[in-house]
Amino acid sequence: MFLQIHRGFTTSVWFVKGLREYTRSGFESAASQFNPGDLDVDVTGQSFLITGSNSGIGKRTALEIAKRGGTVHMVCRNLERAEAARAQIIEESKNENVFAHILDLSKPQDIWDFCADFAKRNDHLDVLVNNAGCMVNQREVTDDGLEKNFATNTLGTYILTCALLPLLKKANKPRVVTVSSGGMLVQQLDVKDLQHEHGTFDGTMVYAQNKRQQVVLTEHWSRLHPGVHFSVLHPGWVDTPAVRVSMPDFHRRMGQRLRTEAQGADTVVWLALSPVMENQPSGKFFQDRKVVSTHLPMAWTQSSLEDENKLMEALEAMAAMFKPETT
């Protein structure tokens, strides 16, 4: 009973924080302190791979990078939507170096195969943006026997990043940017039920747990690969197609208080492009261009190093299961 009361209190504190910081007005307040020159850059000749880039935050990120001359590799699930978004980005940016790739991040072997092929066709990768994600509200199992949210948000992100690290390390000052969520602040890392096979299935909380896992991954990678700059962020509460579909009640209640896609993408673009990041420590969690805490005060969401290591070991083992011998 006490734990339930504490969780309810933590969620309430988080929601009040969200109304103040994660909304459109929260962004406008934070943006008044931004340095506009941070994104006055030309990244011609640099390559960027952005997952989930046919709509929402990913699409806006791809557009902003293309406007600054970057070569953009869009990784999307649906060919028709990917090509439509690609055409629009090329038209608006006047940059022809925008390419669409089709990949479902819930399919581990396909990720390994994609990365092997991508490495054959490209000699380096400057920035990887892990933006794609899903929130399935009913427990769904993939053909590989994986819970869909975990397969996409956590294992998919893990495999894609690990498989592309050799290519990233061939670049000058490579970066990996992962789009997490402030919802992870109400979750403590849970390594006992990664597939969410037990208890009541709550898609929102499963998604938040996946996003906590992404924060742990980022911290781990930053220690393991000092030559690559890793960062993870909360984009705020953004009016995207994914939010409208997965969280219709929340979308309806928040209405015009939700951020625009451009506002949601701002820190993603800043982390991917700004020279300021060259002097920022790796492995940190950002919100509106600032490092913020990964835990709420008195929320009891800190995890042990033992549990964090167990997560990494589990992901490494699962990733290996689906890795083709020739990869």
> pLDDT by residue (tens digit) across 102-115?
999 999 999 999 99
- The sheet carrying 98-102 orders its strands as 98-102, 71-76, 47-51, 127-130, 175-179, 229-234, 284-287, 290-291
Please say if 207 is a catalytic residue.
Answer: yes
Query: Is the pLDDT at 6 greater than 60, yes or no?
Result: no
Cβ atoms of 318 and 248 closer than 8 Å = no
Burial class, 90, CB count within 10 angstroms (exposed 0-12 / middle 13-18 / buried 19+): middle
* Distance between CA atoms of residues 119 and 34, nearest Å: 36
- Which CATH superfamily hosts domain 34-322? NAD(P)-binding Rossmann-like Domain (3.40.50.720)
Query: Is the pLDDT at 4 greater than 60, yes or no?
Result: no
Rounded alpha-carbon distances, angstroms, from residue 237 to 23, 62, 267, 321: 6, 19, 13, 36
Residue 280: name the closest of 235, 229, 232 by CA: 229
Query: Is the pLDDT at 1 greater than 50, yes or no?
Result: no
- Report, in angstroms and rounded to the nearest whole number, the Rg of the chain calculated over CA atoms: 19
Q: What does the domain layout of the chain look like in residue ranges?
A: 34-322
> pLDDT by residue (tens digit) across 151-205?
999 999 999 999 999 999 999 999 999 999 999 999 999 999 999 999 999 999 9
> pLDDT by residue (tens digit) across 209-258?
999 999 999 999 999 999 999 999 999 999 999 899 999 999 999 999 99
Name the pLDDT band for 325 (thresholds 50, 70, 90): confident
Burial class, 198, CB count within 10 angstroms (exposed 0-12 / middle 13-18 / buried 19+): exposed
pLDDT computed for residue 2 by the predictor = 36
Percent of the chain with pLDDT over 70: 97
Q: Provide DSSP, 40-89.
A: ----TT-EEEEES-SSHHHHHHHHHHHHTT-EEEEEES-HHHHHHHHHHH
- Among candidate residues 112, 207, 237, 286, the one labeled active-site is 207
> pLDDT by residue (tens digit) across 20-48?
999 999 999 999 999 989 999 999 999 99
